[in-house]
Amino acid sequence: MPDAPLTRDRVAQMVDHTLLKPEATPADVDALIAEARDLGVYAICVSPSMLPVRAEGLTVAAVAGFPSGKHHSLIKGAEARLAVEQGAREIDMVIDVGAAVAGDYNAVLADILTVREGIGDGTVLKVILETAALSDEAIVECCRAAELAGANFVKTSTGFHPAGGATAAAVRLMAGAVGGRLGVKASGGIRTADAAREMIEAGATRLGLSGTRAVLDGFAAAG
């Protein structure tokens, strides 16, 4: 349970305001940035092909290996490195979900390490597990691999997998596995304030939202 009230401003500072639709245009990204400033969120998250962007006052995140995770690790590392060179300060990478399903956690570890090496230690690395497609055991083991590889966050979902997005149960499991040493990002299908509140209470420290305004409108202003 959070130790302070979940005000609109507090929740906004946990949000990655996200636009990852394949049909997104530069004009859409400009609108995303303008809305992000208006909402007072922490970061925007975009596809790497949309970089560079002018987003002063906001943290810029980009994805790598998105959305399938079935890219060669070296491709993920190169994609992430290029995104950083073009202004991204955070990278949200997708693991090889099939490797996790098969129980090959060494492959998961190597995949994450390759991206970490590609972007260096100064960039925040979030590792997308696609939790709806994994067993509880696999979720925990992938969290351990992410920590060993030097990631900063573990993240539930891309939001594009047919198995579904974030659940409070998965967030709770991830938070327990990382024990506060890494952040936990809940993403995928969070469309209401009640859903966001449930994720935060389960242990999420960051939220990936596309319908951010509707979510934040469900939280009261401070005071």
Residues acting as catalytic residues: 92, 155, 185
List the end-to-end C-alpha distance of the chain, in Å, as a whole number: 20
Alpha-carbon distance values, 166 to 4, 81, 173, 222 (Å): 23, 27, 12, 27
Paired residues of 127 in beta bridges? 93, 154
What does the block give as tokens for 119?
A: 């972007």
Contact 130, 69 (CB under 8 A): yes
| Separation between Cα atoms, residue 28 and residue 18, nearest integer Å | 11
Contact 221, 7 (CB under 8 A): yes
